[in-house]
């Protein structure tokens, strides 16, 4: 198994301002972010032609439902932050992405 390289950012703007040559294999993002939502970030990425698999997490089930009803090419899954018994499912989703 290869080692993963992880980059953290503090906002959607910081993620979107990443250098053009920087590539990502997977994004794990909260839905509610400062200044821009994870949904808005995904829309902007896809409009720019970047289709990066994304897993959304949230403390709010209704936010996850809104996301699941969107038609994102990069959308993989949603999880409640508590993960209540779904840690294995989360890990499997990350591995498949």
Secondary structure (H, E, C), the chain: CCCCCCCCCCCHHHHHCCCCCCCCCCEEEECCCCCCCHHHHHHHHHHCCCCCCEEEEECCHHHHHHHHCCCCCCEEEEEECCCCCCHHHHHHHHHHC
Q: Has residue 14 been placed in a domain?
A: no
Q: Has residue 19 been placed in a domain?
A: no
Q: Has residue 15 been placed in a domain?
A: no
Q: Has residue 11 been placed in a domain?
A: no
| Count of domains for the chain | 1
pLDDT value of residue 64: 67
pLDDT value of residue 2: 63
Q: Has residue 3 been placed in a domain?
A: no
Q: Has residue 36 been placed in a domain?
A: yes
Q: Has residue 74 been placed in a domain?
A: yes
Give 13-27 pLDDT, tens digit per residue.
888 887 676 778 888
Question: Range of 80's domain?
Answer: 24-96
The whole model's pTM is what? 0.73
Mean pLDDT of 77-91: 72
pLDDT value of residue 14: 82
> Per-residue confidence at 85, pLDDT binned at 50, 70, 90?
low
pLDDT greater at residue 21 or residue 52: 52
């Amino acid at each position: 198994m290869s080692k993963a390289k992880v980059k953290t950012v503090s906002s959607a703007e910081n993620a979107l301002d990443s250098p053009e040559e920087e590539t990502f294999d997977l994004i794990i993002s909260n839905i509610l972010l400062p200044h821009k939502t994870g949904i808005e970030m995904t829309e902007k990425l896809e409009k720019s032609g970047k289709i990066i698999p994304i897993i959304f997490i949230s403390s709010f089930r209704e936010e996850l439902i809104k996301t699941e009803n969107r038609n994102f090419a990069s959308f993989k899954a949603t999880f409640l932050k508590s993960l209540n018994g779904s840690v294995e499912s989360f890990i499997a989703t990350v591995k498949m992405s």
